[in-house]
Amino acid sequence: MTRPAFTCHVCGAPAEAGARFCVFCGQAFNDAPGVRCPACQSNNLPGEHFCEMCGAP
């Protein structure tokens, strides 16, 4: 059994190193500056005007 590299900050599911999104909830794992929602801390695609998870601007 391999150990997860980290867990999804939205649903808590284990994620493997190098994963680009959560296979359970679909949350993107993109740590580029400026893509994290200030309200719920979810990762969003660069250029989005509203958070995909909570709808915050």
Look over the chain and give the mean of its residue pLDDT values, rounded to a whole number: 78
pLDDT value, residue 1:
46
Domain that holds residue 28: 1-56
* 7 contacts: CB under 8 Å, gap ≥ 6: 13, 14, 15
CA distances from residue 36 to 4, 31, 39, 43 in whole angstroms, order as listed: 22, 7, 9, 4
Give residue 56's pLDDT band: very low, low, confident or very high (50, 70, 90): confident
Nearest residue to 17 via CA among 29, 1, 5, 32: 5
Q: Is the pLDDT of residue 32 over 60?
A: no
Nearest residue to 35 via CA among 48, 25, 23: 48
Percent of the chain at pLDDT > 70 equals: 84
Count of domains for the chain: 1
The amino acid occupying position 20 is R
Reported as a single tens digit per residue, the pLDDT across 16-31 is 877 888 889 888 876 5
